[in-house]
Every structure is written in C-alpha cells, then in structure tokens.
Amino acid sequence: MQSQIEEDKKDFCSSLIIKEARESGFRSLNFSEKIQYHLDLRKCENKIFVKSVRKEVNDSQLESD
C-alpha cells in the first residue's frame, strides 16, 4: 500500500502533460491539458521542482512569442 502511494505522488511531478509543456510550451496544450497541467503541478510534493518547471515553461513561451 505504501509503495502505491509513493508511485502516485511521483506521477504528478513527471506526468506526460508536464513533459509536453516543458518541451513544446504552454500554448501547445489544449484546454483540458492546461487544466490537468495546473492540477498536476498543484499535487506535486516537490515545490522547488514546481517552481522551476513553471519558470522554464514561462520563459520558453516568452521566447517563442
């Protein structure tokens, strides 16, 4: 049971939507993916990682604009 809980926590920080946003930018996500992106970041336990992902995605989107 404990390992299942740990896997669930880990999945939020490394979800496919977060990876896609990091690679392609926030605007490449459709509406439902944008919502899931924010929910995954909120559920992620590692707040330093969340901060760095948000900064990276924002900076890459700013460069492409």
Domain that holds residue 34: 2-64
Q: In whole angstroms, what is the distance from residue 65 CA to residue 63 CA? A: 5
Q: Provide the whole-model pTM.
A: 0.78
The pLDDT profile of the chain, 65 residues, written as one tens digit per residue, is 455 555 555 578 889 999 999 999 899 999 999 999 999 999 998 999 999 999 999 988 888 76
Helix (H) or strand (E) holding 37: helix 31-43
**In this structure, are residues 55 and 27 in contact, taking their beta carbons and an 8 Å threshold?**
no
